[in-house]
Amino acid sequence: MFRRGLILFFLCSLSAIGRAQGTPDDTIKIDTRLVSVPVVVSDRNGRYIPNLTRDDFTILQDGVPQRIDFFATNEEPLTVALLIDTSQSTRPVLDDIKDSARSLVKLLRPSDRAMIVAFDYTTHVLCPLTSDTRELRKAIDHAEIPRGIVGTTLREAAYQTVENTFRPIKGRKAVIILTDGKDFGSRIAADDLLHSLEESDTMVYSVMFQTDERNSFRRTTFSERGIYGRRFPPRNPATLRRIERMAQMNRKAEEYLRQMADLTAGRFYASTDGRLKEVFESIIKELRLQYRLGFYPPEDKAQGAFHEIKVKVTRPEMVVRARNGYRAEN
């Protein structure tokens, strides 16, 4: 009896030790410290450079070299979110955008997943993450501009997608935002969204398209041409001020979209007509050819601090795009 009790005690002790050393919580805690860095390497002509090894890369945090603890070059399934601006200003180009979005779906492989999100006065998840291309196309068909309701919750849609859906997902993932860039009605501040992206390893590709209204703002003398090509008196101060205000809003919107892309190693594109098939082909190709690096940063007592990341390649004449930093999680 004593020996049987001793054996049971020994087995229970081993089980307790195993739970203490290998619980799911411990694994998650360790994994979340890994800073994941998507990297795209190309030559001066924009051609992607394959077959680089771990030894070809150097990662620096705040100027200090870090050991590369994770390195991946093999192709992995993609996770993509397509965010479509369905606010009133997109009416002239929405059909072209939807046609282009269908072309993106054709580029996905059976192992890839995608989701479709529309945003106007609020955020609409038209299709959650799925590999079913029929469901994705159906969701794109349902992206419509609401009647009589004004709003463009761009930041809110991006924040919800990154935080609620993409944060726990590992691997190659990207958010593609199709918009004219101006935000009206988001409860998420501009800086809060940027901070969220700093904590994420999700790449953001922003595509800014021009509506008829925007096409009128060519960088010629404002007195030459007015909205939709109509001429107006060259010395009408009110008209000039209105056009200048709108042009300034467009410049500010473009600057923010570029900032989102640069912060995450994505790209910024400008479209004049909403036809984006070639843009999507470039994005998907780039996602498949990226390198993924990771490192465990030094212990950081200043929670929430921003740390600059610099990725270098030892080979000459290479162009490297990588996230430029991360914010230590609170």
Per-residue pLDDT of the chain (330 residues; tens, 9 = 90+): 444 444 444 444 434 444 333 333 333 333 558 999 999 999 988 888 989 999 999 999 999 999 999 999 888 899 999 999 999 988 888 998 899 899 999 999 999 999 999 999 999 999 999 999 999 999 999 999 998 888 999 999 999 999 999 999 988 999 999 998 889 999 999 999 999 999 899 999 999 987 644 443 333 333 333 444 455 455 578 777 777 887 888 889 999 999 999 999 999 999 877 788 888 999 999 999 899 999 999 887 667 789 999 999 998 889 999 998 888 766
Distance CA 97, CA 176 (A): 12
Domain topology for 78-288: Rossmann fold (3.40.50)
Which pTM was predicted? Answer: 0.79
**Residues forming a β-bridge with 286:** none
Backbone Cα Rg of the chain:
24
Determine the 3-state secondary structure of 278 from DSSP: helix
Q: Which two tokens stand for residue 72?
A: 């991946």
CA distances from 108 to 34, 96, 126, 279, 283 (A): 28, 20, 18, 14, 12
- Type and span of the H or E element at 219: none
**Burial tier of 70 (Cβ tally within 10 Å: 0-12, 13-18, 19+):** middle
Domain ranges (residues) in the chain: 78-288
Q: Report the amino acid identity of residue 145.
A: I
State residue 76 phi and psi, 5-degree precision: -125, 160
For residue 152, give the nearest of 192, 114, 183 by alpha carbon.
Answer: 183
Q: 3-class SS at 308? A: strand
Report the C-alpha gap between 284 and 210 in whole angstroms. 23
